[in-house]
Amino acid sequence: MHAVIEHRGQRWSVELDRPLNITLPLRRNSSNRRAYFLPPSQIAPVRTQGFLGSIAEGGTVNCDQIVLSPHGNGTHTECLRHVADVPLWIGDAPRSFLVLGQLLTVQPTAEATITAVQLAAIGQVEGVSAAILRTLPNDPAKAERDWSGANPPYLTEEAAQLLVERGIEHLLVDLPSIDPESDGGALRAHRAFWDAAGASRLHATITELCYIPDAIADGFYLVQLGILPLESDASPSHVVLYPARHL
């Protein structure tokens, strides 16, 4: 199924029959600890007096209780509330859950940074409001990695500011954070992307811990950003890309 959409005066052909999932699953029998030494998620049958939520164990239905820390357990989406005490919940942040995005593969520098120069190609086409960054190396083991204590690559403050200047409202990365693992709470890239001091970008989001297989080519996509309407700074997210072509 193909669709032709008009967005900000531009026409795009979108392959709706080619959904490309870039989400890390929350598995039932896995630690699902991905970053910051946060507790692993837990998915288990509800057990109360008189009720068992497991058919395999004799219950009449399956009914699970799920405990998780979005920032450390899998693909998640954050809003400004992550770094600022503002009256905003993640479910209220995005203006739209379908946005036009650009995927770019980046090799971090020797200093493990992603710089503004490396992101120069982002946002050159009118209407692109999401940047999806795939870092190298991109071996399949990345999808199972626990980044805790690994000091993974991160964006410089200037790189985040460039994305703002290019009209990017939604940033998606395959890293646990766009800032250094340990920076004393500075979070310069987060604060620059959200304009934390001015609180002017209430609708901007950052999605971290994606996994983008090599089979997904750099280029343009319609991004479906699925998040829960939680009263929290972040939510587990389900991100799907649909190939898009500028007409």
> What domains are there in the chain, each with its CATH number?
2-24+75-246 (3.50.30.50), 26-73 (no CATH)
At residue 149, φ and ψ (nearest 5 deg) are 75, 10
**What is the pLDDT, as a whole number, of residue 198?**
87
pLDDT surpassing 80 at residue 189: yes
Only one residue has tokens 């395999």, namely: 56
Q: 77 pLDDT band (50/70/90 cuts)?
A: very high
Q: 13 pLDDT band (50/70/90 cuts)?
A: very high
Residues 6+ apart with CB under 8 A from 125: 10, 102, 220, 246
pLDDT surpassing 90 at residue 31: no
- Supply 240's token pair: 């799907």
- pLDDT, averaged across the chain: 95
Q: 197 pLDDT band (50/70/90 cuts)?
A: confident
CA distance 21 to 19: 6
**What is the pLDDT, as a whole number, of residue 212?**
98
Task: With CA atoms as reference, report the closest residue to 214 among 174, 244, 175, 177.
Answer: 174
Least reliable range by pLDDT among 27-31, 87-91, 204-208, 238-242: 27-31
**CB-based contact 79:89 (threshold 8 Å):** yes
pLDDT surpassing 90 at residue 244: yes
**What is the pLDDT, as a whole number, of residue 28?**
86
pLDDT surpassing 90 at residue 163: yes
Q: Calculate what percentage of the chain has a pLDDT beyond 90.
A: 88
CA dist 140 to 27, 145, 211, 214, 215, Å? 17, 9, 9, 9, 11
